[in-house]
Each structure stands twice: as structure tokens, then as C-alpha cells.
Amino acid sequence: MGLAKRIIPCLDVNAGRVVKGVNFTGLRDAGDPVEVARRYDDQGADEVTFLDITASSDNRGLIFSVIEAVSAQVFIPLTVGGGVRQVSDVRALLNAGADKISMNTAAVLDPRLIADSADRFGSQCIVVAIDAKRNPATGGWQVYTHGGRNATGLDAVEWAIEICRLGAGEVLLTSMDRDGTRNGFDLDLTRAVSEAVPVPVIASGGVGSLQDLADGILIGKADAVLAASIFHYGEHTIGSAKAYLAQQGVEVRL
Amino acid sequence: MSHVVVVDYGMGNLRSVAKALEYVAGSEHTIEVSGDLQRLEAADKVVFPGQGAMRDCMREIDARGLRDAVTHAAKNKPFLGLCIGLQLLFDHSEEGDTPGLGILSGQVKKFPAEAMMDAKGNRLKVPHMGWNEVYPHQAHPLWEGIASGTRFYFVHSYYVQPAQSDVIAAHSAYPFQFACAAEQEALFAVQFHPEKSDRAGLKLLSNFLTWSP
């Protein structure tokens, strides 16, 4: 027995509240971040990730009070992403109580942000998120930014290697082809990135069943799996997911 | 009633440590985050966290004139080192070829790339990040109520190799056994993050607050 594979619920936060999408029609309030995070903690979540999707600049500062409140009550690692643009954003989120900061678009636009943040705060708290989509022209996967709107021309596996060289301590890898489909992770993508980099890889995008989680770890070689909808809508608890993974021979924290 | 000072030497975020201590302290104990020499000397107990690179930590400790006060506290008061706060206690680290405080004898080594393979041939990632099992070597007040094999949250790329095995308070395995806690008299230090280790971590912090060595 050794290091456990991690299960990480992802919470979208808008203007200080947890929200979830409803049939593509809009966002519904899903509760107070402290209560939601505590519920997942009680179920056995290994970490919690908050994605700040606040669009209005007036409300963007609310994420800090969310993180302050959650970190005073929930004592597992907290990752925060969304809108991280500069080193001062990283510092402010860490000071609010985040343990790890996830960066995406800004890291592609200016890779020095990764190096500067890792130098200042340590690689252990720098997560680089990669949104990738199959690229039929190359047989590989291309990196996208701005929530999947802009193609970058970067190859996902090469970019993953580069961000680790710059100081990323972890990679959060999302398949845009699978995100929202509930058809499971892109296992080829997950495995290609996981085998290419020395740091842990979190698989994301497409989870529809507990078997998908197991496949991400056993076939995709992910070190952690991130999911939102299968936990948010009450289909599965973190506990039932872990029990299932344990049956499949995956080491988990029970 | 005890007054606990979390040593602030400008390295990383001490908020998580302070919040977790406050959560378990109740009205019995007071928690203060400070880098002030007088406050450190006045403390009943000292918590010594660490984050980032060992060389930067040592530089900041010296720049703030805290070396003697930290060393004195580690030898004379209930003292809890966390993460790099464990590594700093030893003689030397491979990370940046950095001399440590030398309170405990031994070395800090990097997880060797060639050894990072599990029993099934899967590559093990560095940093060692996540929840791993901790096996105490002997009964100690800080392990009270914590079963052998309980998982704690780790994030580190270097591990300590004490010169004397009797200071090893617990081990973990990744993939080989390494010392993940050390103790000597009133000093106790852990490689993992109790402040991020859920109930088990809070229990260890609570045990530290009530500990009277």
C-alpha cells in the first residue's frame, strides 16, 4: 500500500455562490461554498477545486471571501482557478487560504507566469490546466485557451512537458472533446500526458460513471480524477466512488 | 492554557496552519503568527512551518535573525516542525546544496528518479503529492488517537534521512520506506501537512496543543 489516487470534486463559483448548469439554459444556485465543500469533505473528498466563473468584474473579488471562509472550516487541500492572470493574483489567492492555484490561458499567453509563480511560491502550489482537443491533422491534441474558444497551435503533450520544465507541480488535463459528454475521459490523451510528465496529472472532462473514474486511473494512468456533475446531482457520492474504485483495485483513502 | 507562536519568516502561506490550529485550540490556547524575536521567545510552544525551496527558507531565517531563536525553541520548548520545517532541522539538504539548522543529524535527499516505480511497473510522480499511510514507530502523545496506517496529506520532492534511527517517529513508503516524522525530547516534526489532513491532521495538532513533555 502507498499513495492513494485522489478524487477531486470541482465546484463552479459565480459571484460567491456555488452554481451548476441546468440543461444548457443557465446557472442555478447550488449553495453556500462552505456548506458544499464541507459536505464533500464529509464524504471523503481528497481535495476540492473551485473554479471561479464570475463574469462581472464587480463580483470577482468575492472569490477571496469564499476561499477565506472555506479554508477556516474545511481542512483538506483547496485549489482555485479561473481568472488567474499575474503573480499578484496567485499571491492574493494563496493569502486567502488556497493551497494550489490553477492557471490556464494566462500561462499560454505568458509562460513566464508559471516560472515566476513557481519561483516565488514553490512548484507544489502551481497547477497548470490544459484544455485539449483532438487534432486530426497531427493525430495528437491541440491546446485551447479562453475557455476552449481559441486554438493555440500548441501540442498538448509538448506543452505539458514545457510547463513542467517551467515549474508546474501538477497538470489538470481536460479533454474538450469529452467535457460534458459523460462518455468518459479521453484515455489516450490522459495516458499520453501522464506518461510524458514527471508530475501528477489530474484527469478531467467526460465522467459519466464510476467506471470512467477507474478507467482514468487504471488505463489513463492519472494520479487523480476530477469530476463535477456525477457528484453534484447526487447520482454518486465520493464515498460510493471510492468504494467502487477500491473494488477495481485502485488504492484510495477510505 | 498555552500561547502558541507559528513562526513567520516570510516563506509561504501560514494561514492554513494558523486556521487549523485555531480550529482545534478552543479557548484553551492562543495562536499567534509572528516573525518577531521577542514573541518567539515569549511563546509556550512553537510551530515551525515551511514552504518553497530550502535555500530560500534558510536565507529568510538568517535575514530575519531568527536562527538562534528557532534553534533555542527547538531544543527547549514543545516544538512542531511541518514539511520543510522538518527538513530544515537536519544538517544538510541536496536541494540547492543547502546547510540546515543541524538540530538533528542527517541529510535531506531528493526522491531518486530511477527508483520511482511501483510494484506494477507504473511510474511514480514527484512531487509525492496526496494521501499516504503513516506508520508510527513508537507510542507518542502526538499519535494518540491516530491509528497506525492512517493517511495524511503530503506534498514534497525531498525526504529526510536521519543519521540516528531512534529519532524516526514514523515512516511512510514511496515506493521505499522513508522517515516522515522525527522526534527528540520536546521536538516533533512531520513531513506531511496536518493542517490539510482532515480529521487525522486536526487530531495531531490538537495532541500538540495538549502535549506537556
Distance CA(B15)–CA(B13), nearest Å, equals: 6
**B32 has catalytic annotation:** no
Mean pLDDT value across residues A120-144? 95
ipTM: 0.95
Question: Phi/psi of residue B42, each to 5°?
Answer: -80, -10
The candidate with the shortest Cα–Cα distance to A156, out of A173, A170, A168, is A173
Of A46, A124, A197, the CB nearest to B131: A46
pLDDT band at A152 (very low <50, low <70, confident <90, very high): very high
Range in A28-32, A44-48, A237-241, B199-203 with the lowest mean pLDDT: A28-32
Contact A194, A223 (CB under 8 A): yes
Q: Which residues of A5-44 are buried (b: 16+ CB within 10 A; e: fewer)?
A: bbbbbbbbbbbbbbbbbeeeeeeeebeebbebbbbbbebb
Contact A205, A132 (CB under 8 A): no
Task: Answer yes or no: do A6 and B132 touch at CB < 8 A.
Answer: no
Answer yes or no: pTM beyond 0.80: yes
**Type of residue found at B158:** Y
CA A138 – CA A134 distance, rounded (Å):
9
Whether residue A140 is predicted with pLDDT greater than 60 in this model: the reply is yes
- Percent of residues in chain A assigned helix, strand, coil, to nearest 5: 40, 30, 35
Look over chain A and give the mean of its residue pLDDT values, rounded to a whole number: 94
Is the pLDDT score of A23 beyond 60? no
Collapsing DSSP to helix, strand or coil, A38 comes out as helix
Answer whether B155 touches A (CB < 8 Å).
Answer: yes
SS3 of residue B150 by DSSP: strand
What is the number of helices (H) and of strands (E) in chain A?
A: 10, 12
What is the architecture, at CATH level 2, of domain B2-210? 3-Layer(aba) Sandwich (3.40)
Res B12: pLDDT: 66
Smallest CA-to-CA distance from A163 within A217, A123, A204 is with A123
Q: Find the residue in B nearest to A252 (Cα).
A: B131
φ/ψ region of A196 (left if φ > 0, alpha if ψ in -120 to 50, else beta) reads alpha
Residue A105 has pLDDT above 80, yes or no: yes
Q: Which residues of A are catalytic?
A: 12, 131
Could you report the average pLDDT of every consecutive run of 10 residues in chain B (213 residues)?
A: 93 84 94 95 95 89 96 97 96 96 98 91 93 97 98 97 97 97 98 97 98 95
Say whether residue A75 is in contact with chain B using an 8 A CB cutoff: yes
- Smallest CA–CA separation between B18 and chain A, in Å? 9
According to DSSP, residue B117 is labeled B
B133 a catalytic residue: no
Which pLDDT score is estimated for B187? 98
Residues 6+ apart with CB under 8 A from B154: A3, B128, B129, B130, B131, B132, B172, B180, B191, B192, B193
User: Using 50, 70 and 90 to split pLDDT, how confident is the model at A25?
Assistant: low
Indicate if the pLDDT at residue A24 is higher than 70.
no
Determine the residue of chain B that is closest to A223 in CA distance: B125
Nearest CB to A199 within list B16, B19, B125: B125
Per the CB < 8 Å rule, is B125 touching A71?
no
- List CB contacts (< 8 A) between A169 and chain B: 127, 129, 155
